[in-house]
Amino acid sequence: MSGNPLNSHQKTPFADALALLYKGPFNPASLFLASFTSAIPGSASFQRQRKPACGIDIKCNQSTTPCVNQLEMNYSNLKRYIFFTAFYFLFCLAVPSMAQLRSQSFSLTLSGGFLFNTTFGRLNPLPNTADVPEVIVSLKNKGASFGLTLGYLITDRIELQGSFNYSRSEIINEVGIGLAGIPLGKTKVSDTKSFYYSGNILFYFPLNRISPFVTVGLGATTLRPTKLRSSTKLFLNFGAGIRFKLSRHLSTILAIKDYMSFFNYPKDFEMFFPAIYSLDFNKSQHRLGIHASLSYTF
Domain boundary among 37, 66, 94: 94
219 and 257 share a domain?
yes
Going by C-alpha positions, the residue among 160, 185, 187 that lies closest to residue 173 is 187
- The verdict on 197 and 127 lying in the same domain is yes
Evaluated on CA atoms 131, 137, 143, 144, the torsion sign reads negative
Print burial letters for 128-153: b (CB count within 10 Å at least 16), e (below 16). Answer: eeeebbebbbbbbbeeebebebebeb
Q: For residues 85 and 129, state if they share a domain.
A: no
What residues of the chain score a pLDDT lower than 70? 1-102, 130, 177-184
CATH number of domain containing 256: 2.40.160.20
Domains held by the chain: number: 2
Q: Parallel, antiparallel, or unpaired: how do β-strands 105-115 and 285-297 relate?
A: antiparallel
- pLDDT at residue 133, rounded to an integer: 81
Domain's final residue, options 54, 73, 94? 94
Is pTM beyond 0.95? Reply is no
pLDDT in tens, 49-104: 444 444 444 444 444 444 444 444 444 545 554 554 555 444 444 444 444 566 78
Q: Which of 67, 94, 121 is the last residue of a domain?
A: 94
